[in-house]
Amino acid sequence: MIDEKILNRAKEWLSDSFDEDTRNKIKELIDKNDENTLTDMFYKDLEFGTGGMRGIMGPGTNRMNIYTVGRASQGLANYLKDNIEDAKSRGIAIAYDSRNNSKLFAREAASVFAANGIHAYIFPELRPTPLLSYTVMHLKTAAGVVITASHNPKEYNGYKVYCSEGYQVTPPEDSRIVEYVNKVRLVKDVKRIDYEEGKSRGLIEELEEAVDRSYLDKVESFREMIESGLELKDDSAVKVVYTPLHGTGITLVPRALERIRGVEIIKEEKQSIPDGNFPTTPSPNPEEVSALSRAIELAANVKADMVIATDPDCDRMGLAVPDSEGNYIPLNGNQIGTMFSYIIAESLSKSGKMPENPTVVTTIVSTELVEKIVKDYGIDVIYTLTGFKYIGEKMYQFKQSGSRNFIFGFEESYGYLADNFVRDKDGVIASVLAVILVKYAALKYGSVVNFLEDIYRKYGMYLEFQKSFLLKGIEGAERIKSIMDKLRKNPPKTIAGSNVVLIKDYLEQKEFSANGTVSGKIEGLPKSNVLQFYTDDNVKISVRPSGTEPKIKFYFAIVKPFNRSMNDTRKEIEKKYDEVQKDIFSFCGLE
């Protein structure tokens, strides 16, 4: 029996305010008495949270569709008009990825902004998310919007909001925008004009090629500076297999790499076709080895020096390189971030271009190995909460205060950024850095694998692992809350035979021992539902609910001294990880 409240909400979508296709789908579900589907579609409004909006596409209040996109856009428009005096004339920049309905949703957003008198600059075709960050600063718009669900499965889409300084909105601005969106009644309060009418009236402007060229020129200038400091030969031959995983990377990554002398780009043909169904991969996520399988197979056939993969909106980059036997090894995000940090620090140091108070910014769940490396170059490391928006915010704060100079930022989930003309993770810049890395490692160490081994031999082997549990619906949300409550109120005193010596609670913003004795405060970071557990044998476990998916995430970091070889040391760490993850999952009831 369908809950009466759910049924009444569903019946509201049978009115003439909604398009015919939507009405027919809702009616069919009501006629079938499909309780489970209708409940999931209507038990709540799709949350416009501090990270924007992301959800499964389809009709309903808890889905991504033109009506929930319209509501979000109206709320944002109201916020901009009330809080930024010249928001209408400065306008808003809009981009979108290759996902199903992304173009439709982007145009719907533009139509709403235009109806509110806010000039909408929109890319006529799909473009990478980092280009939107650049465009906001380049055009000095009041805000920006990207329609994307990043690396989520094909059923999803999303809506990201950027502030006028080019990074995703952060506290307290994000919460204020949420309040504005929550006040908008679906359909009734949403103003919109026809997209083509908006163009004809000059309220909607489609961006031209000049923006792309300007951005690529900045990427090229940065690349030339780093290559010069590393004393790399301009004509070093590098064969690159590239896959955009059916996404936006195809529009800019090849163009950026083609500007590098000696680089031969071989595209994975089928995955170079933008397609929101992602037909050749189970997941368009470069963090997953399976996403790189086709490109690795091609690389083996052509004997490529590297494989580069970017996710659908091209803000994340994955990299695989051959080992001594010619087998391609996918590197994880921490390994890539570590080596990028090294070559940037080395380049700036050798060239004499190291700025005053140089700083690397990373997240609390990313590897701490980077801090050991860059401190040898006199570079500081600052840690932020998970989410690249906090790295972008730090970049802006550095610029405003003049106290620090940003040189590199990264997070373990394959997001990287260098220089200052973008303020979000950038798969284009990362792809260029990957080519520089391969060239540098070949020149100095013989290979990337040898380079990484040298780092581990000097600083110790740091390995990180991640495991997520997908817990959908109302029951899933309650279970995630229950797990976090248990870990917070009754934390484990030992994990896999190791003593827990420190716990960090970013929601309570305090540090304490396993027996509850408070030992310090966490300062300089917003409150966040994250817990970290440190043991007496160099194990760190971080736990947090995902902000964009119905998941609870566990991050494991284990450090061991280098023992004879990478394989031997890796085996020691993997054995410890196996024991640790079994114990903590059992404690959480997630076996």
Cα dihedral sign for 487, 492, 498, 504?
Answer: positive
Check whether the bond before 244 is cis (ω within 30° of 0). Answer: no
Smallest CA-to-CA distance from 392 within 358, 366, 365, 415 is with 415
Tokens of 240: 């690159």
Give the helix ranges, DSSP H, for 460-549: 473-489
Residue 29 neighbours by CB under 8 Å, 6+ apart: 10, 37, 38, 41
Q: What is the three-class DSSP state of 143?
A: strand
Question: Has 413 been annotated as catalytic?
Answer: no
- Nearest in space to 184 (alpha carbons), one of 84, 292, 72: 72
CB of 141 closer than 8 Å to CB of 164: yes
From the list 73, 111, 133, 150, the catalytic residue is 150
Contact status, residue 62 vs residue 46, Cβ threshold 8 Å: yes
Q: Are 105 and 66 in contact (CB under 8 A)?
A: yes
The position carrying tokens 């037909």 is 279
Give the pair of three-digit tokens for residue 17: 């305010």
567: Cβ contacts below 8 Å, ≥ 6 apart: none
Cα separation, 169 vs 276, in Å, equals: 26
**Helix axes of 448-459 and 333-351: crossing angle, nearest 10 degrees:** 90
- CB burial class (10 A; 0-12, 13-18, 19+) of residue 85? exposed
Helix (H) or strand (E) holding 70: helix 66-83
43 token code pair: 């038990």
Rounded CA-CA distance 521/505 in Å is 9
Residues labelled catalytic? 150
